[in-house]
Amino acid sequence: MKTRSSKRTSKPDPSRTLLGQILVELGYITIYQLDEALFVQRQDVEAGREQKPLGQILLELGYCSPNQLIRAIQVQAEYRKAQPAT
């Protein structure tokens, strides 16, 4: 999950908006489902297996549909495009 920087800002940085956060905000998954998927992802890494993308894990667990995942990725891309280049 995303950690907050020590700087106070009124809005989160949209270019850093994470897919899991978007899925929760859209109401497609719960924070508990996100936490479980992130746990599975960490377990794979700790066991020396290749890290699966979060979306793939959520699909495998049945927590979101392919269409929901596609929509969340579109929203993430829109957030990132809206940011000025630095």
Q: For the segment 68-85, what is each residue's pLDDT rounded down to a tens digit?
A: 999 999 999 998 888 776
Query: Two tokens at 27?
Result: 């109401």
Helix (H, G, I), strand (E, B) or coil at 85: coil
| Residue/partner pairs of 36-44 with CB below 8 Å, 24 or more apart | 36/61, 37/61, 37/63, 38/1
Q: Where are the domains of the chain?
A: 27-44+51-86
Q: For the segment 43-55, what is each residue's pLDDT rounded down to a tens digit?
A: 999 999 999 999 9
For residue 1, the model assigns a pLDDT of 46
Gap between the Cα atoms of 70 and 61, Å rounded: 16
For residue 76, the model assigns a pLDDT of 94
> Residue 14 above 90 pLDDT?
no
